[in-house]
Amino acid sequence: MTLLIVEDEDRLASFLNKGLRAHSYEVEWVQTGQNALGRLLHPGISLVILDLGLPDMDGLEVLQGLRERGSAVPVLVLSARGRVDDRVTGLNLGADDYLGKPFAFEELLARVRANLRRRPAGSPGVLQAGGISIDPLRREVTVDGRAVSLSAREFSLLKAFADHPGQVLSRQELLSMAWDINFDPNTNLVDVYIGYLRRKLGEPTITTIRGAGYRLQT
């Protein structure tokens, strides 16, 4: 899973980067709100750690802009602002959690894990993979807030990936999940439909693992 740190203070960002990587998370780091919003237009981020005191804009504006785009990626706010009304404002704008500075790294790590376990609010069973939201009940898919139209089979294939976040799925497994075909060595259905999904969701969304299968980026 890839976490995005939005923090302009080099020492704190370096501390978070080192600590989270030591616990097997992939980490990206940006220093401004505009760079954060630009990065979050593309898939691949599972959680955002957002500082409010950014040099170009208030972190709450970043949060508001993110939610107005329809993104449901979890956001953990970090801030030295300790007033209750500041925390309430952040939560009302769509923050999933709020941690005051200074903080213990162990608590931040526990909150990261807890937020990654949660499903987005809304319809039961809504799945989240990076910037992709999948509502099985309504059969709706959005990518960073942008609605994407999928065929029934494309939807079934995408849901198979989302049901197994971070896992490499073989062609045989995907045939079974999305087509209910146990084995057919002569079919290229999976490869064809992976191509369809990449064109609609973005080429980097699904990674080919040579000799093993495919993985949805989360």
Task: Grade residue 124 by pLDDT with cuts at 50, 70 and 90.
Answer: very low
Asked if residue 54 has pLDDT above 80, the reply is yes
The CATH number that domain 2-117 falls under is: 3.40.50.2300
H/E element holding 135?
Answer: strand 132-135
Instruction: Output 119 or 93, whichever has higher pLDDT.
Output: 93
pTM of the entire structure?
0.56
Closest CA to 120 of 143, 138, 94: 94
89 vs 198, which has greater pLDDT? 198
Task: Grade residue 87 by pLDDT with cuts at 50, 70 and 90.
Answer: confident
Give me the mean pLDDT over the 134-144 stretch.
Answer: 81
Higher pLDDT, 31 or 177: 31
> In the chain, where are the structural domains located?
2-117, 127-216
pLDDT at 2: 87
Could you name the CATH architecture of 127-216? Orthogonal Bundle (1.10)
CB atoms near residue 82 (< 10 Å)? 9
Dist CA 27 CA 4 (whole Å): 6
Of the listed ranges 58-62, 69-73, 162-166, the least confidently predicted one is 69-73
* CA atoms lying within 13 Å on the CB side of residue 193: 22
- pLDDT band at residue 123, thresholds of 50, 70 and 90? very low
Provide the H-helix boundaries in the chain: 10-22, 33-39, 59-68, 84-92, 105-117, 152-162, 171-174, 189-201
Residues 111 and 99 sit within 8 Å (Cβ to Cβ): yes
What is the enclosing helix (H) or strand (E) of 47?
Answer: strand 47-51
Average pLDDT (108-137) is: 73
State how far the Cα of 66 lies from the Cα of 74, in Å rounded to an integer. 10
Query: Which of 79, 77, 75, 84 is CA-nearest to residue 101?
Result: 79
Beta bridge partners of 78: 51, 99
Q: Is 85 left (phi over 0), alpha (psi -120 to 50) or beta?
A: alpha
Confidence category of residue 188, pLDDT binned at 50, 70, 90: confident
Binning pLDDT at 50, 70 and 90, where does residue 218 land? low
